[in-house]
Structure 1
Amino acid sequence: MAGWILALGLLGAETRAEPADDTAKFDIYTGEPLARAHSDDEAPARAHSDDKAPARAHFERGVARFDRQEYREALEEFRKSLEHKRTRNAMGYVASCLKQLGQYDDALEQYEAMRSEYPELPPRTEATVAADMAELAGLVGTLVLRGDVPAGASLFIDDRFRGRLPLDKPLRLSVGSRAVRVEKEGFAPIATTVEVKAGRENVAELVATSRKGRLRVSERHNWPLEIEIDGKATGAVTPWEGLLDPGEHTVRLRGFLDEEALLSCDVPGAMPGGKWAAARQGAKMESGVKTVNVRLYDVAEVVLGAEDQDASLKIESAPTGARLWIDGKEVGQTPWEGRLPLGEHAIGVRADGYLYARQEVTLERRKQREVTVALDRVPGFWTAEFWTARTVGATAGYGTGVLGLGVFAVSGVLALNTSADLKQACPGGLCPRDRAAQKERAHALGVTALAGLIVGGAGAVAGTVVLVAARPEREEKRVTSAGTAWEVGVGPFGLSLGGSF
């Protein structure tokens, strides 16, 4: 310290003295030799008339305060001088002020900056700077941060900002107890203290009290959808940002969106206060599942694109008011309109007095479907539809069969009873003459029963053959939907259904 002040003092003295050789004259402000071509009276006039006047004025006030040991005020004056014009003497005085204030690390850095800007210092000045730097090196230590060192965080030493993490090199600090604090927006500060010892590496272990990371989730179209994290609904709506435990997490978006907004890709309006609200009805939306790695005291961002997962379907029937089933579940009456997941669905329609109708419908993304089902009446006993040739033939066959079986049953019973009486009256098979007529009646009843059995069996077979083999022309009814044609008909085994796409 004394050496630097002495060196500057000598420079200053040389500007005030009257040596015999004017080559020894120096400007205390710049540290440069005074021009030999001018007299002593002309040189100061030239120095004060150029654009360096503000810098020189601050410098001279700084020297005056330095001489009065007002080092903090002097430091401010020298820094203001440097703002107007950088000179090696002003930089040297700044280093001296920092040293007097106990900021040894800053003083050392100031000397290094001075040497960088003025690599060829005069020998006497170089010797003074080298000695001062050697003294300062014994009054500082280096700081190394370990543990929870979040990238991009701000480092404060004794409430003074010292840079962004990670540091590109160890930080020099003056000896003594130092308060270390790391701050990053959105997270709790990390603080510790370290006892800095001179000439050695000092380690500050940082331990975060709140071990969290931050996740930012948004939808590609800025649609407000509900967020699922690790398979659980969070109740949050995109866009969203919040704290999570470090590690891997899965994220998915789900919800509903107004159909007009979906088709136009517009963003629905926000609620009062600027908050977004998820819709409770409309087009069902869902994104894929994405895995994101959240790191401690870091911000991870994920952008997901949601797509509609259902389509609009409208179902009508003739007659209207029919009961409606979709995928085996009764959903109400026709007409019906709603949204269903994409893909194939089974539709069933039934009304009193009509045949049940069933069909399949395929729903595609962003395509509304309309389906109309026309039901066929159930044929009544007294209607012409019922009394078709097939029905009449089958009825006649089964009627004949029933009549024959009836004759068989009655005649058979009478034949059995008559035979039982003859058996008692004719021991050994020999019957008296008065039993001859009874014997003939038993024989006739047996023949009649056999004939009834044959006729009954033939009638049943004939009715079945007519019902099965006599296939009438199909009565078909087309059921139409957008892009689909359906056919419902009555065949020998009941209702039949066909379709084309």
Structure 2
Amino acid sequence: MTGWIVALGLLGARAEAEPPDRAAQIDVSGDETEARAHFERGVAHFDQQEYREALEEFRRSLAHKKTRNAMGYAASCLKQLGQYDDALEQYEAMRREYPKMPAKTEVTVAADMAELANLVGTLVLTGDTPAGASLFIDDRLRGRLPLDKPLRVSAGSRAVRVEKEGFAPITMAVEVKAGRANVAELVARSRKGRLRVSERHNWPLEIEIDGKKTGTVTPWEGLVDPGEHTVRLHGFLDAEALLACEVPAGKIGERREAARQGAKMESGVESVSVRLYDVTEVVLGAEDQDASLEVESAPTGARLWIDGKEAGQTPWQGRLPLGEHTIEVRAKGYIRARQDVKLERRKEREVTVALDKVPREPGFWTAEFWTARKVGATAAYGAGVLGLGVFAVSGALALNTSADLKEACPGGLCPRERAGQKERAHALGVTALGGLIVGGAGAVAGTVVLLAVRPGGSEQRVRAAGTAWKVGLGLGGPSVEASF
């Protein structure tokens, strides 16, 4: 067989490459005796074509002392076992260790290496390649990821397995072709990362991930989906634990029960990035939240801001960190109000905020405007109605008196006894005219009051045209003419 022939060539048939004395093949010094014994047993196994046992003996020999012959035999055993990549690497190590070998040995080694080069290919891993994971090819450990260079692998069907503690293994089969670069794209079936959460004082607080309760307490470690996550701690602690700043170790049930009693504790929200098949650790510090605040407002239902962040609507009740806080209350149509409050341990604080309305000028479409205008318009229109009533009554009397004078004064000539009646008709006509003037003025004034003012302080006045009045008294009675 080829490996066996190469081994003989390396030894120079145990005569040409080394002195004929077998003992001369290994210098006797220190633990060289052990190296020589393992080497002899390896040769015996090799002669019986028991290559796996021979390889083990040659490796033990090399562990005691490196020799060219033991390295050559080991390479030949690897080749016979089909581990062509390891055999090639063994020959390369042999050349580095012994750069000046006998000519015949060098020719034999070069020929064997050329043959092995045609039986191996290189393998590059892509895809899901978690850092620090162990890489196995056909159940043989070949290193840890990431690889610093392409891996030399024997041609044929190879089983690739990537293992990392705490995660499911990633496996795949790849067909390695000799003399070329081969790519294996790994795909993890369980796409998870590992998250470790702890509290800096070792307090057992409940864990909330992405706003959802997990039902577990710190410290905790578990699998989560890769990507961005938020983590928050909350719970309760008794006074002794707070003063000691730690919680003695105990059973899980006891620690979980401790997280439900005592003073309220809470941490801030921490954002963490979890990578596939990687471990991310987050340590949070919780603070005493055992101070409650209740905020009410007038009007109710106003928007509430606490320390610059919107908290909801009033009435509002919740717990906040101890110390100074600024609350702000806002409502539409009201002036916003701000107030500083100080929260103390285990004390409830109630705050009531009364908001003032925003002052504004009366506008055309506001109730205030119409209320004011209605009063003025009503008074003006009332005076107008009264004036028109006077006009109607006085005008009717004046007309009747004029009709009597017309009958008693044919041709416009009235007897002396009718002079008083004539004066009364004239007075009634003047009164009717005054009532008409007052009635018209009231109607115009009421209209002006309703329409004169517009929003924003601008005014639009309603102007009546020039009014001409003409009063006369004749045989037909008094007459009134008006133009607007």
Q: Please tell me the TM-score bracket, short chain as reference.
A: 0.5 to 0.7
2:123 aligned partner = 143
Q: Which residue of 2 aligns with 1:10?
A: 12
- Alignment partners' CA distance in 1, 2:36 and 2:88: 24
1:109 aligns with 2:89: yes
Percent identity between the aligned chains? 75
**Which residue of structure 2 aligns with residue 496 of structure 1?**
none
Aligned pair partner of 2:276 in 290, 296, 302 = 296
- Cα pair 1:246 1:296 within 8 Å, conserved: yes
Say if 2:220 is the partner of 1:240: yes
- AA matched with 1:104: Y
How far is 1:56 from its partner?
A: 0.7
Structure 1 residue matching 2:167: 3-state secondary structure:
coil
Output the CA distance in 2 between the equivalents of 1:149 and 1:285. Answer: 40
C-alpha displacement of 1:241: 1.0
Residue aligned with 1:310, SS? coil
Gaps of 5+ in 2: 297-318, 326-339, 350-484
SS in 2 for 1:12: coil
Which residues of 2 match residues 126-137 of structure 1 at below 5 A? 126-137=106-117
Pairwise mapping of residues 416-435 of structure 1 onto structure 2 (< 5 A)? none
1:253 partner letter: L
Residue equivalent to 1:83: 63
Change (3 A) 1:119 1:230: same
In structure 1, give the amino acid aligned to 2:213: A
Alignment of 1:66-465 (within 5 A): 66-271=46-251, 276-311=256-291, 342=322, 362-364=342-344
Describe the superposition over 1:320-364 as per-residue Cα deviations: whole angstroms up to 9, x where unpaired.
xxxxx9767xxxxxxxxxx9863589xxxxxxxxxxxxxx98433
Shift of 1:275: 6.0
| Offset at residue 147 of structure 1 (A) | 1.0
Provide TM-score, normalisation by structure 2: 0.59
Cα displacement (A) at 1:297: 1.1
**CA pair 279-49 structure 1, distance change in 2 beyond 3 A:** closer
In the aligned structure 2, how far is the partner of 1:29 from the partner of 1:134? Answer: 32
Match of 1:426 in 2: none
- What amino acid is the match of 1:296? L
State the distance in 2 between where 1:51 and 1:227 align: 60
Please tell me the root mean square deviation across aligned C-alpha atoms, in Å.
3.0
Task: State the alpha-carbon separation in 1 of the partners of residues 81 and 275 from structure 2.
Answer: 41
- Counterpart CA distance in 2 for 1:157 and 1:294 is 28
- Cα pair distance change 1:276/1:268, threshold 3 Å: farther
Cα deviations by residue, 1:101-142 (Å, 9 ceiling, x for unpaired): 111111011111112222222322222221111110000111
**1:84 to 1:327, Cα distance in 2 relative to 1, 3 A:** same
TM-score computed with the length of structure 1 as normaliser: 0.57
| C-alpha contact (below 8 Å) 2:158/2:176 kept by paired residues | yes
CA distance in 2, matches of 1:294, 1:340: 30
Query: SS where residue 129 of structure 1 aligns?
Result: helix
Contact 2:159 2:174 (C-alpha < 8 Å) held by counterparts: yes
CA 31–4 in structure 1, closer or farther in 2 if over 3 Å, else same: farther
1:165-206 CA distances to partner (integer Å, 9 max, x unpaired)? 111111111111111111111111111100111101111121
Contact 1:8 1:28 in 2 (8 A): no
Instruction: List per-residue Cα deviations over 1:405-428 (Å, max 9, x = no partner).
Output: xxxxxxxxxxxxxxxxxxxxxxxx
Contact between 2:11 and 2:69, CA under 8 Å: does it hold in 1?
no
Output the amino acid matched with 1:198: A
